[in-house]
Structure 1
């Protein structure tokens, strides 16, 4: 075990011990508060009874006061009955949420919500392997206020899936957002910054792996131990405007945590998604048995699709003297190309 890994292990153990002590102190404080409240109510009962009897002796023969008192009591009973009905409904919803593994929901990324999310990720990410699916990774990995910016410094490793910035999916995503200040070039620059961060993490001894997928992003997914953070990539909206859900692993096999965890495992294990070589800046394609099949440079010069077959819409036609143009496909190839273009807009 290296010296940095030893320090990391000691930090994780110390942090866990401090958190256990704080939880114990919180439970003790809660029980003391309940005990003091019960004692206060018991000691004040005689005074409350005397006050009530005095008030009742004054209003028992006053019809107006009795009517007002009856109206107040009836209103309180109605409010109590409605609150009880809502409580039972909320209890049923809470049970469904617990069974599904949903523990938190943040409707927007307000400053307080962002701080709460980041604190929870820091607690769960220390000494663990980070597993994430994202778009460019900039807002999650490299941004100083990103959700995982500080977590990656204390994790033991990372498995990251990002969108290939030179794929049609990236261009379709940027076009759908319709932000004039957010261009494909900026998206590619953000991906490059994420790559540089992962290279630095690997240089200090962390186990880091990166893969690029070439289909439109569906979810932003972060897995840290028994907790999972989930956001949906809306076709037309920025991810920062979307709500974030926190799922927790439980003993129920039907929980949503298990579903999305298997989703990540399937995506990560897909042989159609190449792995990025952090040493050579190449995309490595592997077969079903995990053996390396081929490598292609990572960059705009790559004009092949995800499985390495040239796009039918870019078939060259030689005109002579070394001149060529890219023709549009005809016949059956035209139908395939149309289906392929339509797929990126679904």
Structure 2
């Protein structure tokens, strides 16, 4: 459902649609107003005398009037209940909600919402492997993210225990190797964006994911990473920033979740040029590096102590295969 928007953006089609809507409503109101005298004259001079002399017609009129009143009262109650829900959604800054496997109409409304977004300067993503967001053909946000200048992405660490725990909770056909391949494809996509002059930063976290967050300008897409279920099977919510009341709504809390994770010194940053994980302290000073090395059989590794690039390069690794092999796998 699409509701109140925090900072609506208008295009030519939106303006024309509003003009046409107001025009139709105005014409309908004028037509009803001019037809009232004729309707009143018919009821008083023709319909009502017949009703007075016909008991069956009187009964039918009473039943019809009672049915219309019952319908109107029910519609009024439904409208009041929906008004309360709209006010609640507005307070939470909820602008869109979509369940997994929703109809094409719901997806069409989501695409319409995305189409109204101005090109964001920044795009932030906290997700699992990033495949559904950056690589999948049916990704609705990939095009918008690609227009941003600065892109910050956080993925689950491919050499951490969280990836193994996540794979173990999913159906048997989803293995650690599957998740490794998806992460590899995401890294390849982000590398391509860097070649187009985008400022791309990638970090890895090593803990069970709880939220999938995509921040685009004044909007944040939120999905719960439920253990045992793919993220695509979870409902999706979109919250907008309320500029007049920034403290209201859930945009700021979810935005802060991403910032807190991003600024956490425990999470290493990925160096696209050297394929290394860069560790820093709380002040941002580099404390060490290690080559991102993943066994080719998909076995998750525990975080090793820092090792030199020469030692790490001797291990078979999925993410360190030749470029042609990586392209074929993704």
1:272 equivalent in alignment to 2:266 = yes
1:132 equivalent in alignment to 2:122 = no
Structure 1 pair 256/294, CA: closer, same or farther in 2 (3 Å)?
same
Q: Distance in 2 between matches of 1:127 and 1:74?
A: 54
Structure 1 pair 243/78, CA: closer, same or farther in 2 (3 Å)?
same
Which residue of 151, 157, 160 corresponds with 1:164?
157
Which residue of 12, 17, 20 corresponds with 1:29?
20
1:122 Cα deviation after fit: 4.7
Contact 1:166–1:188 (Cα < 8 Å) also in 2 = no
Query: 1:43 aligns to what?
Result: 34
Query: 1:298 aligns to what?
Result: 292
Query: 1:176 aligns to what?
Result: 169
3-state secondary structure, aligned to 2:159: coil
Structure 1 pair 29/123, CA: closer, same or farther in 2 (3 Å)?
closer
Contact 1:127–1:154 (Cα < 8 Å) also in 2 = yes
Q: Distance in 2 between matches of 1:174 and 1:45?
A: 68
Cα RMSD of the aligned pairs, angstroms, is: 2.3
Query: 1:282 aligns to what?
Result: 276
5+ residue gaps, structure 2: 1-8, 307-330
Contact 1:227–1:246 (Cα < 8 Å) also in 2 = yes
Deviations along 1:114-141, one digit per CA (max 9) or x if unpaired, are: 3443443354262421111111111110
Q: Distance in 1 between matches of 2:169 and 2:66?
A: 56
Q: Distance in 2 between matches of 1:190 and 1:199?
A: 14
Counterparts of 1:175-324 in structure 2 under 5 Å? 175-178=168-171, 180-250=172-242, 251-252=244-245, 253-300=247-294, 303-305=301-303
Deviations along 1:88-109, one digit per CA (max 9) or x if unpaired, are: 2221221111011011111224
Contact 1:109–1:243 (Cα < 8 Å) also in 2 = no
How many matched pairs? 290
Structure 1 pair 68/112, CA: closer, same or farther in 2 (3 Å)?
closer
5+ residue gaps, structure 1: 1-17, 310-346
TM-score by length of 1: 0.77
Structure with greater proportional helix content: 1
Contact 1:275–1:284 (Cα < 8 Å) also in 2 = yes
Q: Distance in 2 between matches of 1:115 and 1:79?
A: 31
TM-score by length of 2: 0.81
Contact 2:161–2:302 (Cα < 8 Å) also in 1 = no
Which residue of 95, 116, 120 corresponds with 2:113?
120
